[in-house]
Amino acid sequence: MKQLPKYFLVYLFAILGLSAKAQGIYKKITSYRAYYGWAKHYPQDWMILRQFVNDGKTYLLLVNPQTLETKIDEPGFYAIKQMTIDEARAFFKSTPYVKALQKAEKQSVNMQDAGIESGMPKQTGISLTADLCPSRKPLDRRIFNSIITEFKKVEQPVPIALSVTGIWMRQHPQDLEWLKELQDKHEIFITWINHSFNHRVSLKLPLKENFLLEAGTNINYEVLETEMAMLKNGLMPSVFFRFPGLVSDQKLVYQITDFGLIPIGTDAWLAKGQQPQAGSIVLIHGNGNEPVGVTDFIRLLKAKTQSIARKQWLLYDLRESVDEEFQGE
């Protein structure tokens, strides 16, 4: 009889483990909204970014402002203080997360490629980002197969950041499942970047009226609807945002940072002939629309085979690349 409580505990943890996994998908989200504040669960402080209800239960989207890691949790586990975004940023002002938001705002004037465009030059390697803009073509799976093969012995899972649109998720449920399987098998680790829901683009309009700067754009919808679609598909939203076409103006950058999101640019768009340096944030397209960039990337990987084997050229987790720059400042 003495053993009973122990078995009971094991059983309980098994159930908790299962429910934690099932919690990854939120199919019945209502009242999804920006909601900021401080969630404390000793010893870690989290900043609250969103609140939503799923199937009658309330959840929070939280960011660890030291590591940029995000997670969904129930409010009951924390002592919570609601704040405005400005109050929350002031409260967490010495953290890498808030410093990264500030840096992105400082680089907000350019019409193209605003935000953070490189990691740390001391890194021996790059952060890989692949954009999933709306496309009728299938996912360019060469990217994933080649990084898994090249890094098999040195980095597992291989980190990659995918900028995803709401439309692409709707168009490609099977590709999405395939990516999630690779993640479940720990072959890759995906940081999901918000790339807007609709990703509108006009062939005629000048840049300053194009993409998210096009008249009639609803930024609330573009940001929050994409996050909701991620959660409904079992993807964890990160604190990163990539502008469609890499086009923005200063006002738009501040609209995005007001959602607590860090705009991510690039200093090495391979299809445009930009060469990656140590610490580069490399951009390729995963949506099948820019095969030349993917081919360039695979050529780069092949050229680095020896360095990869010696761990002298690695892929970096975007969260760490952005984070490290502000550690210990």
Q: Which residues within the stretch 307-326 sit at the binding site for Zn ion (CB under 5 A)?
A: none
Shortest Å distance, C-beta 195 to Zn ion: 6
Shortest Å distance, C-beta 43 to Zn ion: 39
CB-based contacts of 162: which residues, under 8 Å, 6+ apart?
129, 130, 131, 132, 179, 190, 191, 192, 193, 286
Pairwise CA distance, residues 124 & 306, whole Å: 13
DSSP letters for 98-157: HHHHHHHHHT--SSBS-SB-B--TTSSEEEEEEEE-S-SSPP-THHHHHHHHHHTTT-SS
CA distances from 13 to 8, 9, 141 (A): 9, 6, 37
Nearer to Zn ion by Cβ, of 26 and 211: the residue is 211
Shortest Å distance, C-beta 179 to Zn ion: 17
Nearer to Zn ion by Cβ, of 34 and 201: the residue is 201
Pairwise CA distance, residues 148 & 107, whole Å: 34
Stretch that binds Zn ion, among 42-50, 203-211, 240-248, 262-270 (CB under 5 A): 240-248
Q: Is residue 253 close enough to count as binding Zn ion by CB under 5 A?
A: no
Tell how many helices (H) and how many strands (E) occur in the chain: 11, 13
Nearer to Zn ion by Cβ, of 108 and 266: the residue is 266
Nearer to Zn ion by Cβ, of 131 and 222: the residue is 131
Stretch that binds Zn ion, among 111-119, 204-212, 242-250, 294-302 (CB under 5 A): 242-250
Number of chain positions touching Zn ion (CB under 5 A) = 3
3-state DSSP assignment of residue 254? helix
How does DSSP classify residue 276? P
Shortest Å distance, C-beta 128 to Zn ion: 15
Shortest Å distance, C-beta 326 to Zn ion: 27
Q: Which residues within the stretch 106-145 sit at the binding site for Zn ion (CB under 5 A)?
A: 131, 133
Shortest Å distance, C-beta 262 to Zn ion: 17
Q: Which residues bind Zn ion (CB under 5 A)?
A: 131, 133, 244
